[in-house]
Amino acid sequence: MRIASPEDLDAVRKIGLFKIQPDRPRIAVGLATCGIAAGGNELYDRLGSIIREGGYDIELTKSGCIGFCRQEPIVSVTIPHKPLVLLHHVTSDTAEDVIKGVLQEDIPKNLALCRVKEWDHITGMIQYGEGFETIPDYHEIPFFSNQHKIILRDAGFINPEDITEYIAAGGYSTAFSVLTGRDPDSVIDEVKRSGLRGRGGAGFPTGLKWEITKKAPGSEKFIVCNADEGDPGAYMNRNEMESDPHMLIEGMLIGAYAMGISEGLIYIRAEYPLAIERLRHAIREAKSYGLLGKEIFGTDFSFDIKIAIGAGAFVCGESTALVASIEGKIGRPHPRPPRLTDSGVWGRPTDLNNVETWCNVPVIMAKGAEWYSGTGVRGNSGTKVFSLVGKVDNPGMIEVPLGTSLHRIIYDIGGGGAGGKRVKAVQTGGPSGGCIPERFFNTGVDFESLLTMGSMMGSGGLVVMDEDTDMVDIARYFINFAASESCGKCLPCREGLKHTLLILNRILAGKAGVEDITLLETLADTIQATSLCGLGQTATNPVQTTLKYFREEYDALIVQDLPDGGR
Amino acid sequence: MDTTGHTVTITINKNQYQAVEGEILLEVARREKIDIPHLCYESSLSPYGACRLCMVEVVTCGKTEMTTACTVRVHRGLEILTDTPDVIRHRKILLELYLAEAPHSDVIKAMAIRYGVTKTRFLKKIVTGDPLLGRCVLCGLCVRVCNEIMGAGAIGFVNRGPYTIVSTPFLEENPACMGCGTCAAVCPTHAIGIEDTGEKRIMRSWSGTPVEMIRCAGCGGYIGPKPVMEYARSRIDPVMAEELQELCPACRRKQVTR
Amino acid sequence: MDEKRLDEIISRYDYPSGRILGILRDIQVSEGYIEKDLLRLLAEKIEVPVSRLYGLVTFYSFFSLQPVGRHIITLCMGTPCHVKGARTILATLEDLLGIKGEEESGKYFATTADNQFTVVIARCFGACSMSPVIQIDGNLYGYVTPEKIPEILAGYGWHP
């Protein structure tokens, strides 16, 4: 069916609501990439065969990921008029216990993680019910209670492969009211006033970028979603697309309408097959409901989204290289200007935003700029999703207001170092970022503070390092990464990073003298100042920050009296 | 190009110059004999910005920012500094990197010496057996003229990062090469080797691709690669092409004077 | 791959954006590598110089020009995997399978003598919370330790 009126939308919402809250028990297995790797598919099959064989009246379905990776596989159970219960570490062996518990309305204590009495999808509220008093409440679990979920509001609660569940949680109602009742320029104005900044790392004001694209001469333009999440240790975008793909599509639809653009592209990395599959499915669903394609919601606005898949090159996260890749060329950046907003895909004006940036759009339009900017800190409004990984006790996908301190993230949510080890540093911003030592963990995570520390926001990977982590080795790791991902076009990045790596290898092998450290610093400075694109300009941040904050680890490796200066 | 034709005044190293709005800064500097070193710029191709040697400082409201002279377009009031201590410091390191990357290039050595750089602290690349003679700096001019101007697409970049080289597909002889030699003509470091054996032209740097030569219809001497002649013929009036005899310059002169 | 199949793959892409890399990707997925003559044939069919396609397949790490073994083991070398010992995992794999690749070459690639296993390195799967991670024929294994590897490999026909 095609949705063309509020009544149509309401009818679909009712179908979806009945799937989220059926008149019988519902079991949903968290099946994003991590859940699957933890054995989620086997568990899903096992639960299915038990239900079939027993002829039980239970609905079995899949959901996205709630982000508490350490507790995988995670299963959510809803019994009519009872709270939703999250179960953790469920395996094929305990599948029987889950079914039994559901049938007897008595959830096994060892499997229950927490209960949810009602859930605020922000665009809609779901009341589950009362009961199960002995199971801790969602808000009593520190991993959850210290978070503030706006982007991840649906993740783990709805089936990402069913558009009706997204609509049941209030999805597409914002796009409907925008497309049928808002002036496009007022949408851009709303996004500008919200203070939303690009979540891909640079933090450019989104509304301003939209305005520039809209004003660029030409009638045929593109909007592009950058889903080439390249930073190692970052998987926010993967989870956003796997757990709630329609949120991205709705965001792009609203943006396209605001800018008056009818062609959209999602550039996604090949390493994310499940996200690609779910996006393709979601696009098909959206088309069949008339939410993509011609005359959306019965208006005269048309918009379509195509998927272009990357082929494994970190540099293609850089905007001009990304465009080259879409056009079937080698991903080598070219000097700007021209900017993408003037000449992007196939030479046409192009607006490029990161997955998470697009995901912020529906909620801004639903609740308004004032509501949105009430979260976060001045100049950094809203929340940010982070992947908290490495040597932290509770690794996972988390969301906090911008400006939240690293301490709160790493200790209150993450539970500190894994296995009780002392945390030494956190690496932010991927290969372009830096290592921030523990003594600065009171720093709030926002675009500017991280830059002041010599690091950067990047896309949101937080890799925790503990007392056993060798910081010179970490610097070497990142330089090796950047050197092998360098496109090879400009000299400082191509040759400079190679020699940086050779010097670091020498230092780690105990064959370097003091002058090698000087050369390392000098070279890093030149690479930063003279590289053509962001990859090279930021590639030496891991070296510079480790030299700044962990100099003693370098000094300990330096040989004092090398004959002939070590050469 | 957004050249509007307006003449504007710009400032380079505190001196004022006249330039056309929209033209490339490096072109102005060349015309005015202001020395800015560069390897990858060629006026007939779009700005590339790879060699990074032409970095200069742009002064805006008292603040300076480093950028490449080959990508800056002239506008009214543009203020440039070409030899600040920062520019020189970085340029010297870049030249050291080039000395390590292309250890056999005399062009690079001469460039470096002018900045007082006589040796490199970086490990020199091992270039034994390099078809580009240890002189290639990956400026990309050969690849760009072959693809963008000649339309032959005989050579391209292979691999990425520090492993990048310029070569033919599969590092094998490539029949797409016309043997025109434009690549060698634009190469700033004279890295590309071409050998004429008489009936064949051997593209030494391009996997030894052999190109057939044609003889002068007059004296019988070898005058040029056959594919180039065919390419030229295909682009002119067919009647003229029919009449056009392949002659060496000496025989052509004779024919004209006759 | 025969010409008919190649034509079928080309016909999947009628939209210019993402076309060339899409075709190459489908060939890679179907064959496990991109064969020389097939690349030449493709160049002819889509009217693009071979040098350009060769540039693409040597630039992007998703493509391989060498035939791969029956099972592909992809080791994740993302930062969390690195700090949690991915290098030890690689050493164990090399040791058990009797192979040796070039770790710093940007494109790690090593195939066993019996052509059963090929080991390659990925920069990040985005399964960081379960690091270190390896993937065999598309199946992801998290929290890998050197001790667990023989058992995992045994599931793919490996024996000491």
- Binned at pLDDT 50, 70 and 90, residue A353 comes out as very high
- State the pLDDT at residue A70: 87
Q: Which residue of C has its CA nearest to A389?
A: C129
- Binned at pLDDT 50, 70 and 90, residue B71 comes out as very high
- State the pLDDT at residue B147: 96
Distance CA A244, CA A122 (A): 14
Same domain, C7 and C44: yes
CA distance B43 to chain A (A): 16
Same domain, C91 and C28: no
Is residue C66 in a domain?
Answer: no
- Binned at pLDDT 50, 70 and 90, residue B233 comes out as confident
- State the pLDDT at residue C110: 92
Q: If you average pLDDT over every residue of chain A, what do you get?
A: 95
Picking from C52, C122, C126, the nearest residue to A33 by CB comes out as C126
Largest CA distance in chain C: 51
Q: Specify the number of domains making up chain C.
A: 2
The CATH class that applies to domain B7-83 reads: alpha beta
Beta-carbon separation of B162 and A330 below 8 A? no
Residues of B in contact with C54 (CB under 8 A): 156, 158, 169-170
Mean pLDDT of C32-38: 94
Interchain contact A487–B (C-beta under 8 A): yes
List pLDDT tens digits, range A282-320.
999 999 999 999 999 999 999 999 999 999 899 999 999
- State the pLDDT at residue C108: 86
Interchain contact A5–B (C-beta under 8 A): no
- State the pLDDT at residue A563: 58
The answer as to CATH 3.40.30.10 being correct for domain A19-144 is: yes
Residue of C35, C51, C60 to mutate when probing chain B, most B C-beta within 10 A: C51
Is residue C28 in a domain?
Answer: yes
Same domain, C9 and C52: yes
Question: The CATH number of A472-566 is which of 1.10.275.10, 1.20.1440.230, 3.40.630.30, 1.10.260.40?
Answer: 1.20.1440.230
Q: Distance of CA A455 to CAs A32, A103, A440, B186, Å?
A: 30, 52, 12, 41
- State the pLDDT at residue C106: 63
Picking from A485, A487, A491, the nearest residue to B52 by CB comes out as A491
List pLDDT tens digits, range A520-561.
999 999 999 999 999 999 999 999 999 999 999 999 999 876
Same domain, C104 and C131: yes
- Binned at pLDDT 50, 70 and 90, residue C20 comes out as very high
Distance CA B104, CA B100 (A): 9
Distance CA A414, CA A466 (A): 13
List pLDDT tens digits, range A2-24.
999 999 999 999 999 999 999 99
Instruction: Give percent of chain A above pLDDT 90.
Output: 93
Is residue C65 in a domain?
Answer: no
Query: Cis (ω within 30 of 0) for the bond into B162?
Result: no
Mean pLDDT of C47-69: 94
- Binned at pLDDT 50, 70 and 90, residue A566 comes out as very low
Largest CA distance in chain A: 84
Distance CA B39, CA B48 (A): 10
Give residue A394's region: left, alpha or beta (phi > 0; psi -120 to 50).
beta
CA distance A239 to chain B (A): 30
CA distance A467 to chain C (A): 11
List pLDDT tens digits, range B80-127.
999 999 999 999 999 999 999 999 999 999 999 999 999 999 999 999
Assess contact for A458 and A481: CB atoms under 8 A.
no
CA distance A216 to chain B (A): 15
pLDDT at residue A180 is higher than 90: yes
Q: Distance of CA B192 to CAs A497, B183, B188, B195, Å?
A: 26, 7, 10, 10
Q: Which residues 2-41 of C are in CB contact (within 8 Å) with A?
A: 15-22, 24-25
- State the pLDDT at residue A562: 61
List pLDDT tens digits, range B184-216.
999 999 999 999 999 999 999 999 999 999 998
CA distance A6 to chain C (A): 34
Mean pLDDT of B53-82: 95
Fold of A172-372: Rossmann fold (3.40.50)
Beta-carbon separation of B156 and C51 below 8 A? yes
Assess contact for A251 and A279: CB atoms under 8 A.
no
More confident: A540 or B251: A540
ipTM confidence score: 0.93
pLDDT at residue C103 is higher than 70: no
Distance CA C81, CA A233 (A): 8
- State the pLDDT at residue A303: 98
Buried b (16+ CB within 10 A) or exposed e, A537-554: bbbbbbbbbbbebbeebb
Residues of A in contact with B47 (CB under 8 A): 335
- State the pLDDT at residue B250: 83
Owning domain of residue C20: 3-59
Supply the CATH number for residue C141's domain.
3.40.30.10
Instruction: Give percent of chain B above pLDDT 90.
Output: 80
Beta-carbon separation of C130 and A37 below 8 A? yes
CB pairs under 8 A between B and C: 45
Is residue C160 in a domain?
Answer: no
**Three-state SS for B24?**
strand
- State the pLDDT at residue A428: 94
Mean pLDDT of B11-21: 96
Query: Cis (ω within 30 of 0) for the bond into B238?
Result: no
Q: For chain A, list the contacting chains (3+ Cβ pairs, <8 Å).
A: B, C
Task: Kindly report the number of other CB atoms within 10 A of residue A390's CB atom.
Answer: 32
Q: Which backbone phi and psi does B116 adopt, to 5 degrees?
A: 75, 15
CA distance A502 to chain B (A): 9
Interchain contact C49–B (C-beta under 8 A): yes
* Closest by Cα among A481, A140, B244 to C77: A481
Same domain, C87 and C32: no
- Binned at pLDDT 50, 70 and 90, residue B229 comes out as confident
- Binned at pLDDT 50, 70 and 90, residue B1 comes out as very low
Beta-carbon separation of A526 and B164 below 8 A? no
Report chain C's terminal Cα–Cα distance, integer Å: 34
Is residue C49 in a domain?
Answer: yes
Beta-carbon separation of A526 and B48 below 8 A? no
* Closest by Cα among B54, B103, B77 to A495: B103
Mean pLDDT of C11-20: 94
- Those residues whose C-beta lies under 8 Å from the C-beta of residue B112, and which sit 6 or more positions away, are B95, B96, B98, B99, B118
Q: If you average pLDDT over every residue of chain B, what do you get?
A: 92
Residues of B in contact with A522 (CB under 8 A): 93
CA distance B121 to chain A (A): 8
Where do the H-state alpha helices sit in A422-513?
Answer: 447-452, 471-485, 491, 497-508
Beta-carbon separation of A483 and B161 below 8 A? yes
* Closest by Cα among A284, A249, A466 to A362: A249
List pLDDT tens digits, range A360-412.
999 999 999 999 999 999 999 999 999 999 999 999 999 999 999 999 999 99
Beta-carbon separation of A530 and B52 below 8 A? yes
- State the pLDDT at residue B223: 86
- State the pLDDT at residue A386: 96
* Closest by Cα among A512, A509, A510 to A564: A512
The answer as to CATH 1.10.540.10 being correct for domain A379-468 is: no
Q: For chain C, list the contacting chains (3+ Cβ pairs, <8 Å).
A: A, B
Q: Start-end ranges of CATH 3.40.30.10 in chain A?
A: 19-144
Is residue C17 in a domain?
Answer: yes
Distance CA C17, CA A280 (A): 16
Assess contact for A474 and A523: CB atoms under 8 A.
no
Token look-up 């080797």 returns B193
Report chain B's terminal Cα–Cα distance, integer Å: 47
pLDDT at residue C104 is higher than 60: no
Interchain contact C123–A (C-beta under 8 A): yes
Q: Distance of CA A224 to CAs A256, A341, A465, A521, C147, Å?
A: 10, 11, 35, 38, 44
Interchain contact C67–A (C-beta under 8 A): no
Is residue C13 in a domain?
Answer: yes
Which of C59, C86, C103 delimits the end of a domain? C59
Residues of B in contact with C55 (CB under 8 A): 156-158
Which of C59, C82, C100 delimits the end of a domain? C59
- State the pLDDT at residue A230: 87
Same domain, C92 and C35: no
**Three-state SS for B181?**
coil
Q: Start-end ranges of CATH 3.40.50.11540 in chain A?
A: 172-372
- State the pLDDT at residue B4: 57
Q: Which two tokens stand for residue A186?
A: 């007022």
pLDDT at residue A263 is higher than 80: yes
